[in-house]
Structure 1
Amino acid sequence: MDIFVCIKQVPGTSEVEVDEKTGVLKRDGVDSKMNPYDLYAVEAAIRMKEDKGGEVTVLSMGPPQAAEIIRESYMMGADKGALFTDRKFAGADVLATSYTLAQGIKKLGNPDLIICGKMTTDGDTAQVGPEIAEFLNIPHVANVKKILEIKEDSIVLEMDMPHTVEVVDVKLPCLIAVDKDIYQPRLPSFKRKLATKDREIPFYSLKDLDDHDEMKYGLNGSPTQVKKIFPPKTNTDHEIWEGTGGELSERLFDKLKELKFI
Structure 2
Amino acid sequence: MVAAAGKVAVVTGGRRGLGAALVDELLARGARKVYSTGRSLYVDERPEVVPVELEVRSEESVAALAKAAPDAEIVFNNAGVLVPEALLGGDLETTIETFDVNVFGLLRVARAFAPVLAAHGGGALVDMHSVLSWMAGSGAYGASKAAAWSVTNSLRIELAPQHTQVVGVHAGFIDTDMVSAMDQPKATPAQIAARILDGLEAGDNEVLADDVTTAVKAALSGPVENLTFSVAG
The alignment's TM-score, normalised by the length of structure 2, stands at: 0.38
> Normalized per residue, which structure has more helix?
2
Bigger radius of gyration, 1 or 2?
1
The alignment's TM-score, normalised by the length of structure 1, stands at: 0.35
